[in-house]
Amino acid sequence: MKTRTLAVSMTLALLPAFASAAAKPDELAAIRQQIQSLQADYEQRIQALEARLAHAEAETQAAKQTAAEAQAAATAPVTAPPSASANAFNPAISAILSGTYGDLSNDPDTYAIPGFALGGETGPGERGFSLGESELVISANVDDKFYGNLTAALAPEGGVDVEEAYIQTTALPQGFTLKFGRLFSGIGYLNEQHAHIWDFVDTPLAYRALLGNQYGDDGVQLRWLAPTDLFVEFGAEWMRGDAFPAGGAADDGRGTTNAFVHIGGDVGDSHSWRAGLSQLRAQAEGRETGATPDVFDGDSNVSIADFVWKWAPHGNAKTTNFKFQTEYLQRNEDGRFNGLDYDADQNGWYTQAIYQFMPRWRIGLRYDRLEADDPGAAFAGTVLDTLGHTPHRSSAMLDFSNSEFSRLRVQYNRDDSQPVSDDQFFLQYIMSVGAHGGHQF
């Protein structure tokens, strides 16, 4: 195109020279007019050709872009909306299989902690080989607004206990989440975790004595996650009030309220932490504990402070990592115990550290302790009699995880929760079969 334009320009430039040598004035004027006409005509043609070229180049680029997008769409994984996900009609199903071997120097059938009325199955476990509770978990998205989960504990004797059966929202605005049904409360740090997630065979003494291992009940929970760089979460619960330390479903089945706040964040790319404060306010109407049983009517309020610190080099916990965890629980009970006026405080705490020193292998140490007010001479000889004893325990464990679905553990407890020391040795296996979701922080 540039070559043709140059040739035309040279031709038009030379024509006047030839014309001036042989033509008359009238003829020169006519020639100049023709030259001007030719020049205008060629300029219009050149502009038209340039416009067609630009249009053709644009169409070619658009075709290439469309082809690239089509290729990317053809090779990209297909992500279905929640309402049409594979789990909508085919829920994720998993089973947790566990068992222990226990060697205890004291008879576990006579287990008691002086100063505390224990609720539920809160002993150290059985001697010899025993099958633990197997968990059956079924979960799926109900649709694009709700998620459902069922966790059933299958007892070795054949009984079935529904640990959790709840619906949770997935699309509430402004950081809110609503959960309703049967659920483990969000108080504390350890309370929401199922037994197969625990770092030790047994729960801390403070949870055993003050919450009956862990607090779960029927009710509703509302959480709000603040839109901040720092993790800030508030939660409130309204529960039926059947589970220890409540009892009797007081206030027409609205006997317990809970509230909690959690904050946390990262320190560099290797450290993370979380801290929390919780308050459980329960009413008990005819709460029965023990085989006799003992009966309590009144208020049982539990406050919890928790803190967790985790370390993994550059956030990669596969090879090595460390976790420090501690909680302090304080409970006040005010009412009537076996017909006698009763008002006392009880508290407990634990501290534990878990270190994965190489892939698959972890070691852990834990120390826990309880304290209870002396309720007075009227309660001498009852389970609330402290006998001048301060319950405490030291634990050490070593476990091996061939994968995230299997774990083998050995643990030793020097248990002084009773006046007579108990040397406890445990071997434990925990196996997860089927689809299983990730765990919380």
Residues 326-375 pLDDT 10s = 999 999 999 999 999 999 999 999 999 999 999 999 999 999 999 999 99
Cα 405 to Cα 12: distance, rounded to the nearest angstrom: 88
Reported confidence tier of residue 176, pLDDT bands at 50, 70, 90: very high
| CA-to-CA separations, 93 to 82, 162, 287, 370, 434, in angstroms, rounded | 17, 15, 36, 39, 6
pLDDT at 398: 98
Give pLDDT tens digits for 130-159: 998 889 999 999 999 999 999 999 988 878
Query: Has residue 211 got a pLDDT over 90?
Result: yes
Cα-Cα end-to-end distance for the chain: 69
Least trusted range by pLDDT, from 100-104, 119-123, 312-316, 357-361: 119-123
Please give the mean pLDDT across all residues of the chain: 87
Contact criterion met (CB below 8 Å) for 360 and 339: no
| CA-to-CA separations, 313 to 28, 310, 320, 398, in angstroms, rounded | 91, 10, 8, 22
pLDDT higher at 30 or 159 = 159
* DSSP at 404: T
Which of 117, 107, 147, 135 shows the shortest CA–CA distance to 194? 135
How much of the chain, in percent, has pLDDT values that exceed 90? 71
Phi first, then psi, for residue 184 (nearest 5°) are -75, 135
Residue type, 93: I
Helices (H), 241-348: 250-253
